[in-house]
Amino acid sequence: MPNTRPIRTLLPMACDGVGPSMTCINISTGMHNAGYAVDIFANRQKMRSRDLKMRVALAGPFANIPYRWISAPASKWIERRFVHDVALGDIAYLWPAVSLETHRILHDRGIPIVLEGINTRMASARRILDEVYADFGIEPMHGLSDERIAEEEAKFEYASAIFAPNSDVEKALIGSSLEQHALPSSYGVDTTKASPERSYSDKRDLTFIFCGYACVRKGTHYMLEAWKDMPGNHKLQLVGKIEPVIAERYRDLLASDRVEVVGFVDDVHAYFSQADVFLMPSLEEGGPQVTYEAALHGLPIIASAMGASRIGDTPDSMIIIDPAQISDFRDAMEELTASAERRETLGRKARQLAFKFDWMDVGARRADLLAEHFR
């Protein structure tokens, strides 16, 4: 029987069907469907969920006010409502936008706090990204200030546990107050969106796809450096927005007929179903959901350790590289262009694993982790 201890989720942002709010809704729906008591406090709700109990700061006509005008007061209101409603015996599941003051109040009242590690620990992320931006030759643009890092470390002090959606989030917690309190978890995928099993027949020209914000943090510059000298007439497809510094430095390559710049799209699955290889060279990551989505469509994957997701924890499920090693990156791509059999082996393995990460299963496993942790 599921533990009936209520899971109260505080998400001071708009639930509009994208980004972290969509992730939160998917996880919470899985928890609820597994029989756990779950409700969500959010700024507004445009992503409908008939299963979940939700309290929102902006309801009715207020939900349609331009969000940038009202986000700050809405966050303050929903946090006050959360603090008022949460009770001893509840678990407070807090997402990163929650204020430090609310963490302190809940801790002082004896309410156990569980955090969500949507990225690695900021102190660790800054070390990684400082080095990456230095290698790129510009001043860091990550925004990870001393103040933000200090606030996150203070939040750790108030928390009882943190969900770690990949192994690098766990590693980054070493030396923090949550080092021994990481709950190994994952993100997931809607398995109903899977395309039919693909054919991996020999093709002369392949489409390599990258999906997400094409930025320095995602290792896009290393990918483009490797792509410069790729032999053959293969195409690199970029689905998502491009960071201005990347767009400027690689404007000639991006304008060439060897790269297709798609831009932001609502439905990435349509592109995954038509591509041949997925690239995810991210350098700092919490748990890339696009990797699960690519795997669901049977794409062979070349990824960094950060971009591999929990699927990459299984041997022989993808090719894992250090993106900064340009020749190794290019060799991995050439390996897949040369062998349909290799693409099929990796693609079928990744697809098989992806079905184990359906959002409903992910949510149920997370709720079980909480029940065990707070037994």
Q: On the CB side of 79, how many CA atoms lie within 13 Å of its CA?
A: 21
**Res 48: pLDDT:** 65
**Residue 12 and residue 133 in one domain:** yes
**Res 4: pLDDT:** 66
**Residue 344 and residue 217 in one domain:** yes
**Residue 145 and residue 242 in one domain:** no
**Res 241: pLDDT:** 96
**Residue 269 and residue 305 in one domain:** yes
Helix residue ranges per DSSP H, 285-358: 289-296, 326-338, 340-354
Q: Say if CB 91 and CB 114 are below 8 A apart.
A: yes
Residue 256 lies in a domain: yes
**Residue 352 and residue 362 in one domain:** no
**Res 35: pLDDT:** 92
**Res 1: pLDDT:** 46
**Residue 288 and residue 340 in one domain:** yes
CA quadruple 263, 266, 268, 270: dihedral sign: negative
Q: What is the pTM of this model?
A: 0.94
**Residue 196 and residue 305 in one domain:** yes
Residue 162 lies in a domain: yes
**Res 70: pLDDT:** 87
**Residue 168 and residue 31 in one domain:** yes
**Res 99: pLDDT:** 97
**Res 58: pLDDT:** 86
**Residue 222 and residue 341 in one domain:** yes
Residue 122 lies in a domain: yes
In the chain, the number of structural domains is 2
**Res 335: pLDDT:** 97
**Res 250: pLDDT:** 97
Residue 290 lies in a domain: yes
- Return all residues near 303 (Cβ < 8 A) that are at least 6 apart: 278, 279, 280, 281, 282, 291, 309, 312, 318, 319, 320, 321
Extract the residue ranges of the chain whose pLDDT is less than 50. Answer: 1
Which structural domain range is residue 56 located in? 7-188+358-373
Residue 2 lies in a domain: no
Q: Which two tokens stand for residue 4?
A: 């009936």
CA 122 to chain centre: 15
